[in-house]
């Protein structure tokens, strides 16, 4: 192929990108109908850029896929979905330089495979958990080794972590949304003696409940509730009925559930995770301290005692009003408007970077052609 032909191909590719003919492939896990904040975030980003006119395709591992319709609705499940297997040897899904793959950090092995196949597309990592970054990477391996220049993450704190442990050209922050479904309702009925509890490890839920009832049998009439496969509105309604929530997730990086609880007006007992979320920290002249917007505990075994102390105060109408006031500030930052603004700027920057690299390549061949 001559330089002139290469330049023509590259210019056609540039036109495809500008015309939004390039496809955006978002890889997602199948949650089997169980709500998962990390998957919800990916779908929201995918839907946003589809609404901007881009061709979006959700890619899942297996042919059988339950999807998100039961808890996110048809507007998200109706986005085009394909399995990885159906992409193989398919002319319809032949990858071009106008295409972009968005891959969660959990699929780092797939990032390496895409690099090995030398596809002309770009790869963007969506990093939502510090725990899974190195699950499929060897010691010393980085995404940048596999031509990853762009990473999207959920908080500024996670951005700093990535810059230290997975340095790439760009790290963009797109905060999750804490839905207005969690706003307290006017003239709502009083909260019930129900404790809503969520844990990444299901056994922890049973352990906390059994320890609590064993040590405090006088509170056997208090119920624990796990919030399972519900639509966001139903989830929010169930949470707002509770007088207290409990969150256990050592692997979390952002932590949407405590913020949803705070926005609902429900105090939250938080088992301090390995990475303390940015909204859980106060920065003072003396240093960094835990915020006073929740009840923070050091380990799971301490949770039953803190539940008992809270329930005693709640029954006596003696929970400090300052706790309820302090709960309001953290979730107020994470609005739909904030998400849309950050996401649009992020995708615009990624496309601009793609075009900039292409322009440099075209210029290089044009200079060679003139010699």
- C-alpha torsion angle, residues 51, 55, 61, 65 (rounded to 10): 50
Within the chain, which residue ranges are assigned CATH 3.40.50.2000? Answer: 3-177+336-370, 180-332
Per mean pLDDT, which range of 83-97, 153-167, 173-187, 190-204 is the poorest?
83-97
pLDDT confidence bin for 206, thresholds 50/70/90: very high
Name the residue among 122, 79, 119, 127 with its Cα closest to residue 100: 122
DSSP characters over 217-279: GGGTTPEEEE--S--HHHHHHHHHHEEEEEEE-TT-SS-HHHHHHHHTT--EEEEPPSS--GG
CB 143 within 8 A of CB 149: no
Tokens 């049998």 belong to residue: 217
CATH code of the domain occupying 3-177+336-370: 3.40.50.2000
User: Residue 109 CA to chain centroid, in angstroms?
Assistant: 19
CB 30 within 8 A of CB 44: no
The pLDDT tens digits for 62-77 are 888 998 998 898 999 9
The pLDDT tens digits for 296-314 are 999 999 999 999 999 999 9
Residue 34 sits at the vertex; the CA angle it makes with 84 and 237, to the nearest 5 degrees, is 145
Give the tokens for residue 47.
Answer: 């839907």
Give the domain 180-332 fold.
Rossmann fold (3.40.50)
The pLDDT tens digits for 338-348 are 999 999 999 99
């Amino acid at each position: 192929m001559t330089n002139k032909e290469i330049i023509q191909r590259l210019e056609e590719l540039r036109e495809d990108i500008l015309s939004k003919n390039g496809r955006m492939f978002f890889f997602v896990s199948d949650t089997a109908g169980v709500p998962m904040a990390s998957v919800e975030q990916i779908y929201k980003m995918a839907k946003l850029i589809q609404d901007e006119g881009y061709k979006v395709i959700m890619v899942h591992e297996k042919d059988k896929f339950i999807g998100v319709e039961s808890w996110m609705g048809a507007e998200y499940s109706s986005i085009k979905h394909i399995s990885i297997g159906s992409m193989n040897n398919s002319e319809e899904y032949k990858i071009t330089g106008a295409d972009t793959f968005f891959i969660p950090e959990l699929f780092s092995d797939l990032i390496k495979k895409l690099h090995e196949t030398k596809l002309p597309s770009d790869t963007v990592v969506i990093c939502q958990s510090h725990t899974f970054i190195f699950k499929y990477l060897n010691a010393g391996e980085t995404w940048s080794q596999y031509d990853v220049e762009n990473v999207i993450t959920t908080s500024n704190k996670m951005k700093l972590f990535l810059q230290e442990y997975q340095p790439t050209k760009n790290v963009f922050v797109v905060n999750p949304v804490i839905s207005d479904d969690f706003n307290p309702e006017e003239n709502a009925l009083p909260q019930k003696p129900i404790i809503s509890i969520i844990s990444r490890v299901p056994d922890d839920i049973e352990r906390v409940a059994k320890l609590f009832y064993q040590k405090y049998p006088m509170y056997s009439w208090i119920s624990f509730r796990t919030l399972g496969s519900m639509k966001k509105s139903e989830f929010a309604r169930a949470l707002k009925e509770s007088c207290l929530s409990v969150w256990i997730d050592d692997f979390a990086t952002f932590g949407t559930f405590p913020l949803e609880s705070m926005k609902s007006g429900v105090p939250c007992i938080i088992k301090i995770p390995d990475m303390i979320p940015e909204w859980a920290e106060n920065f003072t002249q003396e240093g960094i301290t835990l915020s006073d917007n929740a009840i923070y505990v050091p380990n799971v075994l301490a949770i039953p005692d803190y539940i008992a102390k809270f329930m005693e105060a709640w029954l006596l109408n003696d929970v400090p009003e300052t706790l309820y006031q302090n709960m309001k500030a953290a979730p107020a930052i994470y609005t739909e408007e904030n998400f849309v603004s950050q996401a649009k700027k992020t995708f615009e920057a990624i496309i601009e970077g793609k075009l900039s690299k292409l322009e440099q390549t075209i210029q290089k061949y044009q200079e060679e052609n003139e010699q």
